[in-house]
Every structure is written in C-alpha cells, then in structure tokens.
C-alpha cells in the first residue's frame, strides 16, 4: 500500500510517496525559479510555475512507484488548518490531487501545509509524542508558536502567537538580497555568517510581546548596517542571533505557562545550524529543561513527505516505530 502527497507552496513544488509503515518510497521537489535580485514571486507567477513543474515531478515519482500501487492521495490545500486559510498556490496541489483521486478511484485528503510540516518533522525526528507539545513553524511565509495535540488522524492546533509583521524567513531573505545573495537566501546567509569575526560583531534588537514578536525593526536595522559598510558576515550572524534570541524568549514563556517541555521546530529557517545549537544550549539548560525536536535540515524546508504521511494516517496506517 502506498500513499501520495502533493504540496505546492509559495516557492517549492514537491511530491512524495510513502508506504503503510511510514517509509518514504520516493520524494521529489523543485524550487520555483526566482529572478536574480528579486525577493520572491507573485502568487500568479508561482501558480504558473507549479502547473509547469508538477507533472514532471509526478512522472518521476510514478517511475519509482506505479500509480496502480496507490491506496490514497493527499494534498496541502491551504496554508493552515483554519477556516478561510487560503493561498492561490495551494489550489494547484488540491486540484491535481482531486483529479488523480477521481481517475484512480481513490480516497482524497485535503490537509494543510502547516500540518504537513509538523508530520514531516515528527517523522524526521523519529518521535511519536504521547501527548500535547509545543511547535514552532518558522519559514518565509509563517512564523508561529503553536500548541499541538495529536488526534487519531490529524492535529488539533492552537496558535499561541507569532510575528506581528515580517516572518523570520523574510528577515533572512530581505537582508540576503541586499547582500547580493540569491533568493531564497537561507543557506547562503548561514555560510556567510560563519565568516563573522568577534571584532566586527553587531547586534539587532529582539522585540517580543507575550507570545508575539516583530522582525520589521531588525530588518530595518540590518539595512542601515549594510548601508554603513558593516561587513556582510557580521550582519548575517546578527540576524541569526536575533531570530534565536526572539524564539528563546517566547518559548521560555510558553514552557512556563503550559508546562509542556517538548518542542518541535519545523520550517525552512529551522534548518539553520546556529539557530539549532543556540536554542538547544539555552532551552535544554537545567533552568528550563525543555526537550527540542528538529526535523533533519533536508526535511525542514517545504516538502510533500508530511502530506503523504497524513494521507496514510487518515487511512489508518501504522506509525513508524509503533
């Protein structure tokens, strides 16, 4: 038995097929092309690229696993599991998923991009929570702190807080493009930050109000520092420190208020090595005693694996490790 997942997010087109045991049989993804110097794509342009790319990815997947072996199809049909949650790009995944399900006479699950991230994170971390946990979804389109309770076939998610303006990935990408990096700038900015020296160290402010936070101020500060000639590496490291410090402050408050010490961190920004190390040092400290769970870096960014796993879960598949 095999289950197909499809995800067409703002900048990544992806498909994956998993088996009943939760093993990935094949997975394919491709970044949408963004012109040099641009800070993203309009939704209409992204939809066009998804329509062009998705057939190739499906064809590649079906060379590994024949469509006749599928028992169910799932697609990320919206950004979050909330009424009214909508982005045009996800209509591509939802539409193609419904077409394939109807043609193959298979059950179809419309899930959300955020739930796919959580499912992929749990799978990658080889962790099956027995109760509720905290989750951070940190990317170019979402920066939220969540309280999650696993259901029998999905997740019950409560938003505790999040960004009041720019997302963490937008902070990275806006500064990265000003530095001459290619969009999306996460991996390049991380490599650049490793070159930072103590002599050139600078800091960006961290604005936190309860469970909410702001990255527009740090973005403006980073722009001014670059215009003043501060080394790019120093600004890159300051951006990493700003995001890490912001999350630390919010998560300390969430752990104290909820009593939940297990924290899952997913999303493209969560692939950053410095961020992982800093949060582990600060939150797994005896003073906090949190337990952090990260997806592997290659599964932190947008992918369809979690969507496929949710399709399998809805069909009553067995969790890996059960």
Q: Mind listing the pLDDT tens digit for each residue in 87-116?
A: 999 999 999 999 999 999 999 999 999 999
User: pLDDT band at residue 151, thresholds of 50, 70 and 90?
Assistant: confident
The answer to whether residues 305 and 259 belong to one domain is no
252 Cβ neighbours under 8 A, 6+ residues apart: 283, 288
Tell me what pLDDT residue 318 has.
Answer: 43
User: pLDDT band at residue 161, thresholds of 50, 70 and 90?
Assistant: very high
The answer to whether residues 147 and 250 belong to one domain is yes
The answer to whether residues 121 and 146 belong to one domain is no
> Is the confidence at residue 269, as pLDDT, over 90?
yes
Q: How far apart are the first and last CA of the chain?
A: 18
> Is the confidence at residue 322, as pLDDT, over 90?
no
pLDDT tens-digit profile of 181-233? Answer: 999 999 999 999 999 999 999 999 988 999 999 999 999 999 999 999 999 99
* Within-domain flag for 321: no
The answer to whether residues 94 and 141 belong to one domain is no
**Mean pLDDT score of the chain:** 95
The answer to whether residues 179 and 92 belong to one domain is no
* Within-domain flag for 282: yes
Tell me what pLDDT residue 92 has.
Answer: 98
* Within-domain flag for 290: yes
* Within-domain flag for 198: yes
Tell me what the mean pLDDT of segment 265-278 comes to. Answer: 97
Tell me what pLDDT residue 319 has.
Answer: 42
Question: Residues 40, 74: contact at Cβ < 8 Å?
Answer: no
Tell me what pLDDT residue 317 has.
Answer: 57
The answer to whether residues 155 and 60 belong to one domain is no
The residue among 86, 145, 111, 93 whose CA lies nearest residue 267 is 145
> Is the confidence at residue 29, as pLDDT, over 80?
yes
User: pLDDT band at residue 320, thresholds of 50, 70 and 90?
Assistant: very low
Tell me what pLDDT residue 128 has.
Answer: 92
Q: How many residues does the chain have?
A: 322
Q: What is the CATH number of the domain that holds 219?
A: 3.30.420.40
Domain limits for position 217? 133-294
DSSP, collapsed to helix, strand or coil, labels residue 213 as strand
* Within-domain flag for 320: no
Instruction: List the beta strands (DSSP E) in the chain.
Output: 2-8, 12-19, 24-31, 70-78, 108-112, 133-138, 143-150, 155-162, 207-209, 212-214, 262-266, 291-294
The answer to whether residues 233 and 258 belong to one domain is yes
Tell me what pLDDT residue 206 has.
Answer: 84
* Within-domain flag for 319: no
Tell me what the mean pLDDT of segment 69-79 comes to. Answer: 98
How many other C-beta atoms can be found within 10 angstroms of the C-beta atom of residue 262? 18
Question: Residues 290, 261: contact at Cβ < 8 Å?
Answer: yes
The answer to whether residues 46 and 193 belong to one domain is no
The residue among 111, 95, 113 whose CA lies nearest residue 103 is 95
Tell me what pLDDT residue 131 has.
Answer: 94
Environment class of 81 (CB within 10 Å of its CB; exposed 0-12, middle 13-18, buried 19+)? middle
> Is the confidence at residue 152, as pLDDT, over 90?
no
Q: What is the pTM for the complete model shown?
A: 0.95
* Within-domain flag for 213: yes
The answer to whether residues 18 and 119 belong to one domain is yes
The answer to whether residues 289 and 306 belong to one domain is no
Q: Work out whether strand 207-209 and strand 212-214 pair parallel, antiparallel, or are unpaired.
A: antiparallel
How many angstroms separate the CA atoms of 160 and 112, rounded?
18
How many domains does one find in the chain? 2
The answer to whether the Cα torsion of 236, 238, 243, 244 is positive or negative is: positive
What percentage of the chain exceeds 70 in pLDDT? Answer: 98
Angle subtended by helix axes 168-178 and 232-258, to nearest 10: 180
User: pLDDT band at residue 153, thresholds of 50, 70 and 90?
Assistant: confident
215 Cβ neighbours under 8 A, 6+ residues apart: 143, 163, 165, 166, 167, 168, 170, 171, 207, 242, 243, 246
Tell me what pLDDT residue 274 has.
Answer: 98
The answer to whether residues 44 and 69 belong to one domain is yes
Tell me what the mean pLDDT of segment 74-98 comes to. Answer: 97
Integer CA distances (angstroms), 244 to 3, 123, 127, 197, in order: 36, 24, 23, 19
> Is the confidence at residue 321, as pLDDT, over 50?
no
The answer to whether residues 114 and 245 belong to one domain is no
Environment class of 129 (CB within 10 Å of its CB; exposed 0-12, middle 13-18, buried 19+)? middle
């Amino acid at each position: 038995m095999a289950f197909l997942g499809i995800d067409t997010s703002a900048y990544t087109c992806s498909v994956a097929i998993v088996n009943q045991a939760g093993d990935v049989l094949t997975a394919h993804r491709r970044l949408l092309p963004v012109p040099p110097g641009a800070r993203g794509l309009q939704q209409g342009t992204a939809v066009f690229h998804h329509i062009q790319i998705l057939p190739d990815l499906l064809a590649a997947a079906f060379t590994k696993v024949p469509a006749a072996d599928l028992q169910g199809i799932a697609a990320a049909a919206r950004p979050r599991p909330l009424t009214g949650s909508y982005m045009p790009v996800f209509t591509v995944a939802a539409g193609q998923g419904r077409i394939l399900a109807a043609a193959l006479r298979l059950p179809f699950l419309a899930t959300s991009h955020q739930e796919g991230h959580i499912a992929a994170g749990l799978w990658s971390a080889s962790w099956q929570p027995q109760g509720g946990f905290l989750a951070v979804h940190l990317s170019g389109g979402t920066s939220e702190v969540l309280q999650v309770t696993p259901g029998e076939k999905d997740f019950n998610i409560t938003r505790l807080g999040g960004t009041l303006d720019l997302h963490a990935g937008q902070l990275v990408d806006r500064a990265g493009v000003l530095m001459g990096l290619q969009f999306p700038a996460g991996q390049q900015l991380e490599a650049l930050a490793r070159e930072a020296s103590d002599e050139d160290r600078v800091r960006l402010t961290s604005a936190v109000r309860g469970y909410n936070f702001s990255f527009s101020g740090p973005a403006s500060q980073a722009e001014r520092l670059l215009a003043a000639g501060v080394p790019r590496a120093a600004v890159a490291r300051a951006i990493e420190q700003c995001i890490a410090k912001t999350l630390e402050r919010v998560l300390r408050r969430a752990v104290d208020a909820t009593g939940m010490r297990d924290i899952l961190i997913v999303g493209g920004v969560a692939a950053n090595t410095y961020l992982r190390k800093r949060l582990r040092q600060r939150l797994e400290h005896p003073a906090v005693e949190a337990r952090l769970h990260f997806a592997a870096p290659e599964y932190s960014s947008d992918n369809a694996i979690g969507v496929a796993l949710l399709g399998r879960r809805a069909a009553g598949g067995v969790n890996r490790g059960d």
